Structure 1
């Protein structure tokens, strides 16, 4: 294997790992929202996606990667811990 080939494979694996979180998010959103509702038009779809992200996904939905806390709750704990260190 050439040096260039190894470097290309390394870059590819970095991109795959970087994309993993977004692929996971979109798969979850499709399962929990998109496939559950028949939208009247693109504006309704946009409004529902915005509401899903802002009112449910970021505030209520617990996530394993955040110790089974909602992102807002996890961020609050993180901020408190950071203030104690400073």
Structure 2
């Protein structure tokens, strides 16, 4: 029994394409963790060590992780739609 995923244009993805998607998701996760951590450290590291993190800083810190995620997902979707057309 082979696992297939359906693309938006009803094209079944091959196991190779499914494997490529899972590798891309793994890479995306590592990018978000590394870039988000770097941004957090640069922007809020001193405030965190001094105990001066308020709600505005925590919101900004969360955005430091969300923005790389959104940027990479949008790039992946655009490239993916170009690959499967």
Q: Which has the higher contact order (CA 8 A, sep 6+)?
A: 2
TM-score scaled by length of structure 2: 0.37
Q: Give the TM-score, by structure 1 length.
A: 0.37
